[in-house]
Amino acid sequence: METIVVTDTPKRTVSIRLASDELVVTETRYQVGERGPDLHVHHQHVDCLYVLEGALTLSLDDGERTLGPKSFVLVPPDVVHTFRNDGPGELRYFNFHAPGLGFDRYLRGLYDEEFATPFDQHPPPEGGGRDPGLVIAGTGELIAERPSLGVVLFADAPELGISSSLGAPGGPSPPPHIHPRHAESFHVLEGEMTFAVDGSEIHAPAGTWLHVPPRTVHSFSFPGEDDVRFLSVHTPSCGWGDFLRALHSARDDAELAAARAAFDQESA
């Protein structure tokens, strides 16, 4: 989809980068002193952030944490949270809501035209929310590190699994496949990729978001001259983290086949 700019002022910019039933992604720029909504919870979905530039201060019931570039945060349902930019410089981040629940329409002031109930964002409950120790935050788990491939797993919650991968030009790419029960979304952070989706070829330079719905044949390759770094987002996760661990620790074809068989993935 085309980027939809919701807010653009000297202090902040908010753009919708991807919107689907499974996932809504926004990109936000905050100047120093800008902050997110008041402390709140979501009952039915996870709220996640990936820091692109600067430092994000995350506020939870048990205190605050500062997260730098390439850090990821997943806040489960009913955990009280908010965030802000304390500086020293500009903050830029992606915000993921999974499932989407019309977050894009809510931002645009269109939610009530389609939905009978308010958006899934609520004040903190009396007595506090769920244990903030359930929050996943940090720079991720290193899954694979080889000359032509690097994989970091950021989170594997029921609602969302997300990883960052590094691929070398001409490096390995997956065979064409489908995910019967979940969607996969990609963001090209650096370099360029080529996606094959349902018989069409899509050139994806840095900055591209691509959403692949369930049961859609897809694959990708690295045709450029530079290394590629990209995000892979699975909604719902369907065990994305377990799949990555099994795939990259497989010692032979039988273990490779077992890893693929256990995950929500079928050859096309």
Same domain, 231 and 163: yes
% the chain with pLDDT above 90: 87
Domain around 115? 4-136
**pLDDT higher than threshold 90 for residue 38:** yes
Give the pLDDT confidence score for residue 185 in this predicted structure.
98
Same domain, 70 and 190: no
Same domain, 66 and 87: yes
Using the 3D structure, point to which of 100, 119, 136 is the last residue of a domain. 136
Using the 3D structure, point to which of 86, 114, 136 is the last residue of a domain. 136
Residues paired with 7 in a beta bridge: 14
pLDDT band for position 224 (cuts 50, 70, 90)? confident
pLDDT digits 0-9 by tens, 154-187: 999 999 999 999 999 988 788 899 999 999 999 9
pLDDT band for position 50 (cuts 50, 70, 90)? very high
**pLDDT higher than threshold 90 for residue 110:** no
Same domain, 124 and 155: no
pLDDT digits 0-9 by tens, 55-71: 999 999 999 999 999 99
pLDDT digits 0-9 by tens, 130-142: 999 999 999 999 9
Give the pLDDT confidence score for residue 260 in this predicted structure.
87
Using the 3D structure, point to which of 106, 136, 166 is the last residue of a domain. 136
Same domain, 87 and 157: no
Same domain, 82 and 202: no
pLDDT band for position 113 (cuts 50, 70, 90)? low
Same domain, 152 and 78: no
Give the pLDDT confidence score for residue 116 in this predicted structure.
66
- Domain CATH number, residue 108: 2.60.120.10
Dihedrals phi, psi of 26, to nearest 5 degrees: -120, 155
Please tell me the pTM assigned to this model: 0.95
Same domain, 55 and 119: yes
Give the pLDDT confidence score for residue 72 in this predicted structure.
98
Domain count, the chain: 2
pLDDT digits 0-9 by tens, 240-251: 999 999 999 999
Same domain, 13 and 126: yes
Same domain, 180 and 80: no
